[in-house]
Amino acid sequence: MTPAGVPVTVGDGRTPDAPLPVSIRGGVAGAASARVERLAGRDAVVVRIDGSLAAGSLRRSDSRTVAEAASLALHQHLPLVGVFASGGAAVDEGIDALDAWGRAGGAMAACSGQVPPSRGRPCC
């Protein structure tokens, strides 16, 4: 609010305390995308795996996106929300893709029990 009591908004009509979504590893091609979004009035790290791209098969770069998103959520104490439509690791990348997916899974597991509760409201 300004001193005159007029609400302050940014270009898209949001108030300054409701930031635009921020991409994590934006511009990296693949089935996985991640960004910080506001859900139900609370910032959260949202990871999406697009099942329409190679059946959502995760390449090393996709798994790295998931792992970095989970790490950000853990270190910033933000909820981690995953929307996955995946066929698993990309077969053509062999054991490297399996290893990367395992690392992503480990990063997500590290978030378990580490995010503060949402004060009785679901985060999404």
Q: What is the pLDDT of residues 27-70, one digit of tens each?
A: 677 888 899 988 888 889 999 988 888 777 888 988 899 999 99
Whether residue 69 lies inside any domain: the answer is yes
Question: Structure pTM?
Answer: 0.73
- Phi, psi of 39, deg, nearest 5: -125, 125
Q: Answer yes or no: is 92 within a domain.
A: yes
Structure-model confidence comparison of residues 120 and 39, the more confident one: 39
**Could you tell me the residue range of the domain that residue 101 belongs to?**
28-110
- Would you call 24 helix, strand, or coil by DSSP? strand
* Closest CA relative to residue 76, chosen from 38, 108, 111, 105: 111
Main-chain phi, psi angles of 34, to 5 degrees: -150, 145
* Domain CATH number, residue 44: 3.90.226.10
- Pairing relationship of beta strands 32-39 and 80-84 according to DSSP bridges: unpaired
Contact status, residue 73 vs residue 80, Cβ threshold 8 Å = yes
> What average pLDDT does range 70-80 have in this prediction?
90
For the chain, the domain total comes to 1
**How confident is the model at residue 118, as a pLDDT?**
55
Q: Write the CA distances from 96 to 9, 63, 66, 83, 91, integer angstroms.
A: 46, 10, 15, 23, 10
